[in-house]
Chains A and B, each alone.
Chain A
């Protein structure tokens, strides 16, 4: 047993190292090809939790653009038998914040779109989109390819996320995925997002700890003051909460979306807490562009409403609980 644990830790360390190296070499972002070359899809086949967790956290720390959410979605769909092939580069069109879908599907099979791509779109990418069907239900469809020139940049937002908006196109819908695959896609995207948020929160905390250890006032490091320490502790608590529920979300006995919903909501809370306290303890420095917090603050703001704000996720959780008529235990608290 101990040997097995050791082996797993070694594997995790090796994966972390190669992922960190990839992130460090990719200032422009991590595309589909880079993920293929990294062997991410094979690893996800063997250990999806390790693959998703390590990649998400490292990308979150770096506040890079990537196709990590798209890759996680396509991989999960492929594993579940949906008609997608991870060997082929895919781009996923996500709903705009506060929208139920990235477009409306009509009875004649056409669709009117308004949604977001993350990490850019390349010629020849296969397109998946989260849309709303004629009955108002969420659905995932495959669309005909999109020309990168059809995708508009997103003004004023976090430029490093390389988000693009596709609007008003009456798209050719190739086919619609099964309802359980649509649910799986959303759950997978949210979980991949949650790992990025946890990574960003960890990085804010690391920056804050470094700053308060180095910055002296009144002849001692400001990290020696209780008021500062308490804030750092609160960030760590928020991150630990998100992590433990995220770990539980991989439990195969947990077939509801509940755990992923709660984990996503806690991850959003964690990064917002980390940003608020990080900015406070880093003082004026924290607000400057030369200081490493700025990209993380923008990323946290960009993702706060993405795939459901904390308030919307809370509503969804309540609806789900009401629908199952019982409150399932969130498992996995014992999982490291």
Chain B
């Protein structure tokens, strides 16, 4: 029997985080990546504040600038941050999976150079995986690394790269084997983004500014010290990365917050909503709470080193579908004002509209829903 009653220290942490959000994050904040550059500044400042209080890399060892906390405290942190529209900005990428992957596969030099800046909230990372012709079929990637004295030259193109414009480092997959080598010829490179041989072009999209980019590599340099793991051994790292990435965002926390907020935000108008909408709202809230329990099951299993990848996939499927269910219910609840009002007084309506746009992308980003379902189903029917 699992018992998810929260320990006192988790409760204390939640209150502390809420107080920090209350103090430093404006009520109208909807994430770091809006047209207003202040939002990015708010996120960067807040990240440093968390870093100073060792609340940023909460579960990391103290030697890397972490807080040495439990994975339950980490879960509370994820929930509180996501519910508050992620005031850490793009930092979750470094925290959630780049850091943990460096701890597992990096050498001491790499860990010493890269982990403390992430833990301090000083540096942003981006992920160079997808390519125009390698999306769901990631092993088809063609970005090439060419051997030279002391390091590698990168040539190729990545796409859908979130935060590439502001990232200092890129966690890049490139081909070091033959063109046909697929999973067996891929290596991970840690690439310094500040060089002339890298060009970032933002892609205007419904997700707003800074969200997705194309990144062109025309002979960018990576010294040998920034090759992660062995040459041609990148694929097993990728699998770990995706497992971390897929359970790293507590999407249910924002769903729960927005649903719980709706009756207050609507005031007297709440009672006038069609009954069917009240029922869908209640159902969505129940789904949101049950997905939270599924997340806790995954956290508990991961904590004991017993995480079944099928459970991780099931959680990912459930949480992204929840995101979309909640988006539809909330859009219907706010009626016309979900269609993109810029009236800053209408905080709830703007939050709902923002949630709707991101929820649409949640079953496409970091592995499509179709690929997640295939992975889960193949595991169930024994096909690898």
Contact = CB atoms under 8 A, between A and B. Distances in A.
A228 B369 CA distance: 11
B176 interface: no
A96 interface: yes
Given A156-B341, A311-B277, A287 B207 contact: yes
Contact of B361 (A96, A227, A287, A304): A287
Given A287-B205, A311-B274, A306 B336 contact: yes
A98 B369 CA distance: 33
A16 interface: no
A167 interface: no
A222 B335 CA distance: 35
Contact of A288 (B137, B204, B363): B204
A133 interface: no
B364 A309 contact: no
Interface in A154-209: 155-158
A310 interface: yes
A218 B360 CA distance: 24
A218 B335 CA distance: 42
B293 interface: no
A256 interface: no
B360 A279 contact: yes
A181 B140 CA distance: 63
A184 to B, nearest CB: 24
B130 interface: yes
Q: Pick the most buried of A297, A305, A314, A315: most chain B CB atoms within 10 A of its CB.
A: A305
A315 to B, nearest CB: 4
B167 interface: no
A305 B343 CA distance: 18
A276 B324 contact: yes
A284 B336 contact: no
Given A280-B363, A305-B336, A155 B343 contact: yes
Contact of B339 (A157, A272, A290): A157
Nearest to A284: B160
Contacts of B331: 301, 304
Given A97-B336, A312-B274, A280 B206 contact: no
Contacts of B356: 301
A305 B338 CA distance: 9
A302 B274 contact: no
A155 to B, nearest CB: 4
A156 B340 CA distance: 5
Contacts of A225: 370
Contact of B338 (A279, A290, A301): A301
Nearest to A304: B331
B341 A283 contact: no
B276 interface: yes
Interface string B311-345: 00000000000001000100110011111111100
Contacts of B206: 287, 289, 294, 297
B135 A284 contact: yes
A330 B235 CA distance: 57
A25 interface: no
A217 interface: yes
Contact of B130 (A155, A284, A301): A284
A165 to B, nearest CB: 11
B160 to A, nearest CB: 5
Given A279-B360, A284-B364, A156 B335 contact: no
B136 interface: yes
Nearest to B340: A156
Contact of A158 (B133, B339, B374): B339
A96 B332 contact: no
Interface string A128-158: 0000000000000000000000000001111
B58 interface: no
A253 B212 CA distance: 54
B212 A310 contact: no
B137 A217 contact: yes
Interface string B155-182: 0000110000000000000000000000
A155 B136 CA distance: 37
A275 to B, nearest CB: 8
A314 B341 contact: no
27 contacts: A96-B336, A97-B337, A98-B269, A98-B335, A98-B336, A156-B340, A156-B341, A217-B135, A217-B136, A218-B137, A228-B370, A276-B360, A279-B361, A280-B364, A280-B369, A284-B364, A287-B205, A287-B207, A287-B212, A289-B203, A289-B204, A290-B203, A301-B338, A305-B336, A305-B338, A311-B277, A315-B275
Given A156-B342, A314-B276, A315-B274, 12 more contacts: A97-B339, A155-B342, A156-B341, A216-B133, A227-B374, A272-B328, A287-B205, A301-B338, A304-B332, A311-B276, A315-B275, A315-B276
Interface of A: 96-98, 155-158, 216-218, 222, 225, 227-228, 272, 276, 279-280, 283-284, 286-290, 294, 297, 301-302, 304-306, 309-312, 314-315
Top 5 A-B pairs, shortest CB-CB distance: A97-B336, A156-B340, A98-B335, A155-B342, A217-B137
